[in-house]
Structure 1
Amino acid sequence: MKIRLLHECDAEVYRVIRLEALKNHPEAFSSSYEQEHVRPIEQFRERFRNEGAYTFGAFDHEALVGIVTLVRESHDKLRHRANIVGMYVKSEKRGQGIGKLLVNTALHRARQIEGLEQVYLSVISSNVSAKKLYLTCGFQVFGTEKNALKLGENNYFDEDHMVIFL
């Protein structure tokens, strides 16, 4: 398994796994498949040009099997913070430690960023395996947002907000 920073040349394979994540687990992301599948590939390339954002990919041989993004806050008063977003590992590759490698890689990068003090993430409260992963990596739950995401007419999901202090 190889974990590396993704670049513009990875936009097409990133788009495929990102859309898979949104389609298979709509409750886990604030973006939707319907929103992102119509976006041109150039918008996916642009994500890798964003200063302060680092997207890492897990490769099993040449296949991209997992992704995670670390995004530093841009406002002056929030520059001591970053967020982990877009975490996803293909279902057939789960349980092999790939998620932990991705999160730890993002945290390693966070610790190298001058002035960065804490990293946040949000996870659907019912996603026990993801919460367990984040707790193992050192995150702590500091709050729960009721009905944070809404799918359809009456399908709500609570989110646990987590933080790790570097």
Structure 2
Amino acid sequence: MKMDAGGIHIRPLGAADTAAYRALRLENLRDFQFAHGPAYEDALAQSEAWHADRLARPDYTWFGAFDGDVLAGVICLCAKKGSRLHHSAMLSSLMVARSHQRAGVGRLLTAHLIEHARSLGHVRRLTLKLIDGNVPARRLYDAFGFQSFGVEPDAIYHEGGYRALHHLHLSLVSQATP
């Protein structure tokens, strides 16, 4: 288990964390719909077993930020399969509990994921997708040096309109984490 600033512990998520992960995911999809692709209503229909399967996927590495026993946030590193693609991975599903917003949990999780990706030795680049208008997340990713490499117009339908999806990347080759 890794200890970080403010008493937050970051560790890999496992099967025992499924209920807490599902609750945090549903909370985020309900309270921060502008920040996520899946709809809250669709996620409600996904069982705890569906969430357990998601945490157990071999190409996903999930980390949780814990404040004591409370799951304060999660983040996922999605590996790409195949010898021609494994140098690139995707940062996905950064979610922070409403109770821990603006406390640096997202920054801790992002820094942890970047360092983990670097430690793998073969990951040279991280990518992510960000819904247009998610200003707090954009500020976070900009602080880590993520750069835009494309915009997908009309990618997400939200609140009666379409929003663009921004594609960002970060080179892990000889670059320090803030």
Equivalent pairs, count: 165
Matched, 1:135 2:142: yes
| Secondary structure at 2:84 match in 1 | helix
Deviation at 1:34, TM superposition (A): 2.1
Matched, 1:93 2:100: yes
Query: Which deviates more, 42-51 or 55-64?
Result: 42-51
Aligned residue in 1 for 2:175: none
Long gaps (5+) in structure 2: 1-7, 173-178
Give me the TM-score of the superposition, normalised by structure 1.
0.91
**Percent of aligned pairs with the same amino acid:** 30
Q: Is the 2:12–2:61 contact (alpha carbons within 8 Å) kept by the matching residues of 1? A: yes
Matched, 1:121 2:128: yes
Instruction: Tell me the distance in 2 between the aligned counterparts of 1:63 and 1:5.
Output: 14
Deviation at 1:75, TM superposition (A): 3.9
1:62-98 deviation digits (Å, cap 9, x = unpaired): 1111111110112443221111111111233222211
Long gaps (5+) in structure 1: none
| Secondary structure at 1:78 match in 2 | coil
2:114 counterpart letter in structure 1: L
1:131-164 deviation digits (Å, cap 9, x = unpaired): 1101111211222222120136x41112221100
| Secondary structure at 2:113 match in 1 | helix
Instruction: Tell me the distance in 1 between the aligned counterparts of 2:37 and 2:133.
Output: 16
Q: Is the 1:27–1:157 contact (alpha carbons within 8 Å) kept by the matching residues of 2? A: no
In angstroms, what is the RMSD of aligned CA positions?
1.5
Aligned residue in 2 for 1:157: 163
Aligned partner of 2:51 among 44, 47, 51: 44
Q: Is the 2:124–2:171 contact (alpha carbons within 8 Å) kept by the matching residues of 1? A: yes
Give me the TM-score of the superposition, normalised by structure 2.
0.86
